[in-house]
Structure 1
Amino acid sequence: MIVAKADLIISPVETKADRAAFVDLAYRLNATDPAWVPPLRMEALELVTPGKNPFFDHADVELFLARRGDSVVGRISAHIDHLAIAQPAEQGMGPGTGNWGLLEAEDEDIARALIARAEDWLRGKGMNRVLAPLSMSIWEEPGQLTKGFDHAPTVMMGHQPQRYQRYIEALAYTPAKVLKTYELDIVKPFPPLIERIVQSGEKNAKIRIRGVDKSKFDQEAALILHILNDAWSDNWGFVPFTDREIAYAGKKFKPIVREDLIMIAEYEGAPVAFMMTLPDLNEVLKPMGGKLFPFGWVKLLAWLRKPRVRTMRVPLMGVIKQYQSSRLASQLAFMMIEFIRRNAVSRYGATRGEIGWILDDNQGMNAIAEAIDSHVNKEYTIYQKAL
């Protein structure tokens, strides 16, 4: 259905050209933002293409374009994740909850019209509540940036103009959850108390911290996802990974996986925790402007062979439920962070770390981040509204 408002026409993405226009708009509207990192166009297109992104296997998705005459002036996605609505309502998702995301708009009137169109689509599908923005899964780029607009996002994190925050809040959306990222100087040692905790763990014969074995990539990925699904299953916003999503993520991130930057903690011989760290790919992508050709692929391949970065990002970590809220959980976390810190500095030339996102009410993880003298550098807000 096409919706017209004065000279503004909002219509679903239906053709290959529409999908390309949906992707291209972000590059035009964000071109003057010095903090925005243009994603590779092939990956941006893959994100919104059924059959390529496994999110579409378990979600209903509609993409909308706003046009004035022949010009594309806005875009938005509306989606219902059937795995998310099957989760308990008290964990944030649950029955009747739909989402929108990937918002781009030239001005506030266009943004209002696009959000209204997404809300109408969700109502038509029987949804009575919206959580947004999610672009598109909770595991991809959740939330609207609400703190930290002045510097570039790290790999797998989003960046939106501050004006979108005003647009969203003006439409009676209220914060449902705030996601934090923490920045820290990884060149200097951690505080003495943390060093003593790590040293104690190194002397404990029951504890073993090891790097992943990339020659057994599929098995290691499955092990990490097993720990993750157990560790995060009670968390707000949790949606389980499907087998296709695990395989897709593994293929996508294998080139930047380093064995000495992803740690698995074993206790009494059993794997009980993990910490994933990635060199900040955005540092090499930013100058490319979203294009691999003609010369970007050469630079990217050279970097992948021997990454040298300023920043390392910890996007995921988890401790199985059995040991959560225990001293052991904190000790394992500090040990993995310290082992990775040493490797990041000595082998990759990194000077800065970023941890997150972390839920604002995750007391354990926030306490760990604060204990190593890190500070909040960015916040992303996921909003909610009754439909």
Structure 2
Amino acid sequence: MSATDSATAAHVGTDAPVTVSPVEGRADTNAFIRLPYALYRDDQHWVAPLEREMRAFLDPRRNPTFDTAEIRLLLARRGKTVVGRIAVVSEPRYQERHDFTCGHFGLFECADDTGAAAALFDAAAAWLAERGLTRMLGPLSFSVNDECGLLVDGFDGPPSVGIPYNPPYYARLLTECGFGKAKDLLSWLVPMPPDGEPPAGIRRVAERTLSDPAVTVRPLDPGRWDDEMAVIKDIYNDAWAENYASVPLTDQEFRHMAAQLKAVLKPELVRIAEVDGEPAAFTMWLPDVNQALRPARGRLTTWGLPVGLLRVTLGMGRITRVRGGTSGVRKEHRSRGLVAVLLADAQRAAHRLGYTETDLSWILEDNRGSNRHAQAMGGVHFRTHRLYVRDGGPR
């Protein structure tokens, strides 16, 4: 996308016709990746993803999700100006587990242009219809294991790592294009107590659980990285098997995810609960690296100079928030109180490391147990993301 296209993508007129075409070649890939820079250039809260990571995510040779799912990237143009993008996904694992008629969309970005959005969604629906799929669920980029949901409430600050951000008008575009609510995903902000201790209720449950000599909790052992990641993957796939829109992670996908996490993950923030010496549950909290990435604007180098890298390096030492984003308890151990143990232990570890708040996200709106735990930790519901669904083919 040229500098002119980038500067005008969010403000192009509606007289020129809309065309939608698949992403083919480097120029289209660049346009797909760079469109958000035009749409968000005046938005103080947007955090640009690192371009090299986005390129890897979109590369079938480097992202193992392409081994199991069929994915098509589309661009919408008004005249010659790129005004929208979308990924459309046929995921057999989702279809076998949940709905044989449903495909996904994700990575949706668009100017405030209902005509362009409608053209994108119609093209996506047509692609899915060719594969016998008559429903479309999203945003899922590319599955529930990646970023998902459209921000519909809580636009007053930058997103935490792994959480999507978008302008308020996106919800209107989806509604105008025939989508309705499928499920809300809730985020809870937990301020760090001065002493790092969890509230009394959580503490009592944790202490009662730990009074059982069969139950122990420990941090991740970085010296056994591969073995520890295999343990977490096994618990995750078991714990999430019946969750809304869940898709099991393959070995290749989890290795790929673990390799990405290794650079930012702090072993103290990963807690593993064991019962009779066998791993039974885990929680993984991550430093909110978005606080460090934001000044880099997606690039580690500028004109060959490591300007962005320097900004990120300096910012890593100033992170104040952790995101408690991934947890799981094996089904046979869900009545033991392990969640309270893990939350209490992780919060104490975060306090020792100097973090001042925790974003517990995301939690399904109808997951009463997890939402009660977030509230019991002192959490305040501060953001809502929404999954949308549309029935039928092109309109």
| 1:49 counterpart residue number | 59
| 1:241 counterpart residue number | 249
Pick aligned residue for 2:152 from 146, 158, 162: 146
| 1:32 counterpart residue number | 42
The offset of 1:247, in angstroms, is: 0.9
- Aligned pairs, how many? 371
Secondary structure, in 3 states, of the residue corresponding to 2:169? helix
Letter of the 2:277 partner, please give it. Answer: G
TM-score with structure 2 length normalisation?
Answer: 0.90
CA distance 1:358–1:52, shift in 2 (3 Å): same
| 2:9 counterpart residue number | none
| 1:358 counterpart residue number | 363
Pick aligned residue for 2:75 from 61, 65, 72: 65
Pick aligned residue for 2:192 from 178, 186, 211: 186
RMSD: 1.6
> In structure 2, what is the Cα distance between the partners aligned to 1:31 and 1:52?
29
The offset of 1:303, in angstroms, is: 5.9
| 1:317 counterpart residue number | 327
> In structure 1, what is the Cα distance between the partners aligned to 2:332 and 2:206?
21
The offset of 1:172, in angstroms, is: 2.5
8 Å Cα contact 2:83/2:116 also seen in 1? yes
Pick aligned residue for 1:11 from 21, 26, 32: 21
Secondary structure, in 3 states, of the residue corresponding to 1:290? coil
| 1:135 counterpart residue number | 141
8 Å Cα contact 1:212/1:259 also seen in 2? yes
Secondary structure, in 3 states, of the residue corresponding to 2:263? helix
Letter of the 1:156 partner, please give it. Answer: G
Letter of the 2:321 partner, please give it. Answer: T
8 Å Cα contact 1:13/1:63 also seen in 2? yes
8 Å Cα contact 1:154/1:280 also seen in 2? yes
| 1:335 counterpart residue number | 341
The offset of 1:151, in angstroms, is: 1.1
8 Å Cα contact 1:275/1:316 also seen in 2? yes
The offset of 1:6, in angstroms, is: 5.5
The runs of 5 or more residues in structure 2 that have no matched partner are 1-14
8 Å Cα contact 1:103/1:111 also seen in 2? no
8 Å Cα contact 2:16/2:78 also seen in 1? no
Secondary structure, in 3 states, of the residue corresponding to 2:213? coil
> In structure 1, what is the Cα distance between the partners aligned to 2:161 and 2:351?
18
In the TM superposition, 1:257-296 aligns within 5 A as 257-293=265-301, 294-296=306-308
Q: Which runs of 4+ in 1 moved over 6 A?
A: none
The offset of 1:263, in angstroms, is: 0.3
> In structure 2, what is the Cα distance between the partners aligned to 1:69 and 1:237?
37
- Are 1:216 and 2:224 matched, yes or no? yes
C-alpha distance after superposition, 1:40-94 (max 9, x if no partner)? 011112222211111111111111112233321211111111211111x3xxxx2
- Are 1:96 and 2:96 matched, yes or no? no
> In structure 2, what is the Cα distance between the partners aligned to 1:46 and 1:39?
12
The offset of 1:155, in angstroms, is: 0.7
| 1:175 counterpart residue number | 181
Pick aligned residue for 1:160 from 127, 150, 166: 166
- Are 1:384 and 2:392 matched, yes or no? no
| 1:229 counterpart residue number | 237
| 2:264 counterpart residue number | 256
In the TM superposition, 1:76-87 aligns within 5 A as 76-87=86-97
| 1:205 counterpart residue number | 213
Secondary structure, in 3 states, of the residue corresponding to 2:157? coil
> In structure 1, what is the Cα distance between the partners aligned to 2:207 and 2:138?
43
C-alpha distance after superposition, 1:313-367 (max 9, x if no partner)? 011111100022x1x1xx32122212221221222x2111011211111111111
Identity of counterpart residues, as a percentage? Answer: 35
TM-score with structure 1 length normalisation?
Answer: 0.92
Secondary structure, in 3 states, of the residue corresponding to 2:385? strand
8 Å Cα contact 1:180/1:356 also seen in 2? yes
C-alpha distance after superposition, 1:103-159 (max 9, x if no partner)? 112222211211111111111221011112212221111111111111111111110
> In structure 1, what is the Cα distance between the partners aligned to 2:242 and 2:17?
47
C-alpha distance after superposition, 1:249-287 (max 9, x if no partner)? 011111111111000001122111000000001000001
Letter of the 2:276 partner, please give it. Answer: E
> In structure 1, what is the Cα distance between the partners aligned to 2:117 and 2:249?
31
8 Å Cα contact 2:47/2:158 also seen in 1? yes
The runs of 5 or more residues in structure 1 that have no matched partner are none
